[in-house]
Chains A and B, each alone.
Chain A
Amino acid sequence: MKDKLMDFDKALELFDPVLGFEVHVELNTRTKMFSASPNPANPEFEDAAPNTLITPLDLGLPGSMPVPNRAAVRSAISLGLALGCEIAESSRFARKNYYYPDLPKNYQISQFDEPIAFDGSVQIELSDGRLIDIPIERAHIEEDAGKLTHVGGSTGRIQGAEYSMVDYNRAGVPLVEIVTRTIVGAGVDAPEYAKAYVATIRDIVRGLGISEAKMERGNLRCDANISLMPKGSTTFGTRTETKNVNSLRSAERAIRYEIQRQAQILADGGTIKQETRHWHEDTGRTSAGRPKSDADDYRYFPEPDMLPLTPARELVEELRAQLPEQPVARRRRLKEEWGFTDLEFQDIANGGLVDTVEQTIAAGATPASARKWWTGELSRVANERGVDASTLVSAEHVAELTKLIDEGTLNDRLAREALAGVIEGEGSPSEVVDKRELAVVSDDGALIAAVDEALAAQPDVLQKIRDGKVQAAGAVIGAVMKAMRGQADAGRVREIVLARASN
């Protein structure tokens, strides 16, 4: 059924949106949170066949016992610190009891009243440069659940499903769930808040190196809570929780949709049902999931199979000292250092290429040329192949390529060909230049011979140039470039042609 939607601007004239986000981050440790099974959120194991990353604990077999992963706990503490949180002196695990086949233990190990990190704040930047502080309530450690695939039924969707297939590889993957406090005052910027917040969390965990943070793979997942209250009111309305928000773009669109949908219901005198809603990227809508009910009675209690965590203050300070620069501050600094406009920098940031461009510049390229190759030719090839540009070649190779151009060894066309060779694994740019014999010819003997040959074929050109039509030289330059398969130094060819005309 299609929802009635109020015009977005009108909705914001009538109502103030109230937001809250729960972001789940899959950590990229080598093993799972509580078992020694390889972790599919680590690139080393991400392509494992179903149900091959399984230990007895992941299946909830009797007698199996959870033991926390030291590296994952460190990652969680680092993330807590990057979010400006306090790190608990003592933190413990709890069982969240629910019956659903995605976790065979019939409970999820999580944290309840004693999360590892709490009371933080993270700064986001809107596209107009405004900085907003998003209050963080807590960040806690838990385990991911298995993956269900519903089979059968006419639509393939759950309502018509006849049965479900379960892969438990993901069961037990280390998660940190980051929960914001209630966010008020976003107004018309609410959709942009969502996008900027999720992007900032992504940048933070990438900066820390603790998660692959690929939203399309589910490494980073956002649940968006939203409610509306009449303009001027301070009493919160009933909220919905939208799940399946798996890209930055959908974070923005889902919030926009819910504002329009809820505003229309309220304006028509209806009430909002407290429920989970599902975002559908294809149709750009949300649909109702299960209503909040008895099923959410999780009966948390302390996990009896594990001992408390009491992070040493020395460790906390050691991890704090290792924190990278905050994403907003880093981006502003780099944009300034590189001398880019907002638009130029956005190209790099949106392509996820900030780190790569930084490395390329560190390896000797100018900011302008690093940007040109990464957001141009390399992004084009990456798009064609459906991969990240940064996986095609190394930053050092691109820096070497720009050096060859600056030295005059390569022109633009030859550089693209050299790059293609590097992408195909033929070696470094210099090696490809040697193997494919790509270097620009600037040896005068060879160029003069080629120019004279071209002039002989177009005898009227010299007279035209003498008559002041210098652009006639273009035809000769073109002929020489063609004869030398694009490898002639075009500037030098032009000089030779003009010299011949002045004789």
Chain B
Amino acid sequence: MSDITRESVEHLAMLARIALTEEEVTQLTGELSQIVDAIATVSEVAGDDVPATSHPVPLSDVMRDDVPGETLSLEDVFRGAPAHDGERFRVSAILGEEQ
């Protein structure tokens, strides 16, 4: 059994900035537990002698040359923005520091 609890779901929801109702927390606690258990099954099969694999094809070092490509127009940049002033995106004030 996984150790997914209501508290861990609430914690993850806070980190992801998602507001969950009590019912949703209950539902997700169960669903996440099942997912974690399913993955644990894989761990049982893969012993220490099996190297970690991030991709099915053994490739590495795929890189690009340092050559500038096409950039977006301001119109496209702001196409999906809920708020902007034509130069910059506008977002709610968030507690933090000036960057």
Residues of A with Cβ closer than 8 Å to B?
A: 29-31, 35-38, 49-56, 59, 61, 67-73, 90, 92, 97, 99-102, 145-150, 152-153, 157-158, 161-168, 243-244, 276, 278, 289-290, 294-295, 297, 299, 302, 304, 306-310
Interface residues of B in 57-90 (CB under 8 A from A): 59-72, 74, 77-78, 80, 85, 87-90
Contact A308 B95, beta carbon cutoff 8 Å: no
Cα A166 to Cα B99 in complex, Å, equals 10
Residues of A near B68 (CB, < 8 A) are 30-31, 36-38
Closest CB-CB distance, B94 to chain A, in whole Å?
Answer: 7
A35: chain B residues at CB < 8 Å are: 69
* A294 close to B97 (CB less than 8 A): no
Inter-chain contact B97/A51, CB cutoff 8 Å: no
Q: Mark B10-40, 1 if CB is under 8 A from A, else 0.
A: 0100111100000000000000000000000
Q: By the criterion CB–CB under 8 Å, are A166 and B97 in contact?
A: no
User: CA–CA, A51 to B78, complex, Å?
Assistant: 9
Q: Beyond the given A30-B68, A51-B74, A309-B61, could you list 18 further A-B residue pairs with CB under 8 A, ordered by the A residue number?
A: A29-B66, A36-B64, A37-B69, A49-B87, A51-B88, A53-B71, A67-B62, A69-B66, A70-B66, A148-B96, A148-B99, A158-B96, A166-B88, A166-B90, A166-B91, A167-B89, A297-B11, A308-B60
Whether B97 lies near A70 (C-beta < 8 A) is no
Closest residue of B by beta carbon distance from A156: B98
Contact partners of B74 in chain A: CB under 8 A: 51-52
List residues of chain A with CB within 8 A of the CB of B15: 97, 99, 294-295, 297, 299
Q: In the complex the two chains form, what is the Cα distance from A252 to B53 in whole Å? A: 45
Partner of A31, one of B17, B66, B91, B98: B66
Contact among A31, A99, A165, A306 for B69, CB-based, below 8 A: A31
Q: Would you mind naming 18 contact pairs between A and B with Cβ atoms under 8 Å apart?
A: A29-B66, A31-B66, A35-B69, A37-B68, A38-B68, A52-B71, A55-B69, A55-B71, A55-B72, A73-B63, A101-B91, A153-B93, A163-B93, A164-B90, A164-B93, A165-B91, A294-B11, A302-B54
**Beta-carbon contact of B93 and A158 below 8 Å:** yes
B26 vs chain A, min Cβ distance (A) = 22
Complex formed: what's the CA distance from A173 to B87 in Å?
Answer: 19
Option from A50, A69, A149, A307 in Cβ contact (under 8 Å) with B64: A69
B61 contact set on A, CB distance < 8 A = 307-310
Asked whether B95 lies within 8 Å of A158 as measured between CB atoms, the reply is yes
> Which residues of chain A come closer than 8 Å to B69, judged between CB atoms?
31, 35-37, 55
Docked pose: A239 CA to B88 CA in angstroms: 36
Which residue of B70, B88, B94 contacts A50 across the interface (Cβ within 8 Å)?
Answer: B88
Given A99-B17, A307-B61, A54:B98 Cβ within 8 A: no
- Most chain-B Cβ atoms within 10 A of its Cβ — which of A36, A92, A168, A302? A36
B87 to chain A: closest residue by CB:
A50
- Contact indicator B67/A38 (Cβ below 8 Å): no
Interface of A is mostly: loop
Interchain nearest-CB distance for B76 vs A (Å): 9
Q: Which residues of the partner chain A approach B91 to less than 8 Å between Cβ atoms?
A: 101, 148, 163-166
Nearest residue, chain B, Cβ from A72: B66
Which among A67, A148, A299, A302 has the highest number of chain B CB atoms within 10 Å? Answer: A148
**Whole-angstrom distance between the alpha carbons of A235 and B73 in the complex?**
55
Contacts of A55 in B (CB 8 A): 69-72
B87 contacts A162, C-beta separation under 8 Å: no
The 8 closest A-B pairs by CB, nearest first: A36-B69, A71-B66, A165-B88, A161-B93, A70-B63, A166-B89, A101-B91, A38-B68
What separation, in Å, do the CA atoms of A36 and B72 have in the docked complex?
11
Q: Is B43 in the interface zone, CB < 8 Å from A? A: no
Contact A99 B71 (CB under 8 A): no
B66 touches A30 (CB 8 A): yes
- Chain B, residue nearest A149 (CB): B88
Q: Write out the residue numbers on chain A whose beta carbons fall within 8 Å of the beta carbon of B98.
A: 148-150, 157-158
Q: How far is the CA of A165 from the CA of B62 in the complex (A)?
A: 35
Please, which residue of chain B has its CB at the minimum distance from the CB of A71? B66
Contact A54 B94 (CB under 8 A): no
Minimum CB–CB distance from A71 to chain B (whole Å) comes to 4
Among candidates B11, B60, B70, residue contacting A307 with C-beta atoms closer than 8 Å: B60
B25 CB to nearest chain A CB (Å)? 17
Q: Is the CB of A100 within 8 A of B54?
A: no
Q: For residue B66, which residues in chain A have a CB less than 8 angstroms away from its CB?
A: 29-31, 69-72
Cα A102 to Cα B89 in complex, Å, equals 10
Inter-subunit contact A68/B16 (CB<8 Å): no
B residues less than 8 Å from A243 (CB atoms) = 97
Whole-angstrom CA separation of A161 from B90 in the bound complex: 12
Which residues from chain B contact A101 at a C-beta distance below 8 Å?
89, 91, 94
Contact pick for B97, options A50, A153, A162, A289, CB 8 Å:
A289
CB nearest to B91 among chain A residues: A101
- Tell me the bound Cα distance from A145 to B96 in angstroms: 14
Least CB distance, A319 to chain B, in whole angstroms = 15
Partner of A164, one of B17, B67, B94: B94
